[in-house]
Amino acid sequence: MKLKIKKGDSVIVLSGENKGNQGKVLKVLAEENKAIVEGVNLISKHTKPNTASPQGGIVKKEAPIHISNLMFIDKQKNPTRVGRKIENDKLVRYSKKSGEVID
């Protein structure tokens, strides 16, 4: 299945503990249908001391969130569904609410 959200997109969380939070997609895990969103779904990871962090301790990091719980935000800051259509012999994504081509 082709995912409608890509790296760099602005999204809003639709459900769950982080409902209403907005952020930028840092990474898409296509095989798991999940995405990592900046500042959303933070977890505390306990780390041992190593060369990168000699002190060790507790680190806050983003955990993946399911794609179905995310909705794309267009340039006018409106949450919208994403469609795909052929334009000039090229498949493009577009906003279903405004009809504008994304990217």
pLDDT in tens, the chain (103 residues): 688 999 999 999 999 999 999 999 999 999 999 999 999 999 999 999 999 889 989 999 999 999 999 999 998 899 999 999 999 999 999 999 989 999 7
Whole-prediction pTM: 0.84
Region of 8 (left: φ > 0; alpha: ψ -120 to 50; beta: rest) is left
| Architecture of the domain spanning 10-76 | Roll (2.30)
The pLDDT value given to residue 52: 85
77 CB-side CA count, 13 A? 1
| Three-class SS state of 69 | helix
Q: Give the chain's end-to-end CA distance (angstroms, integer).
A: 21
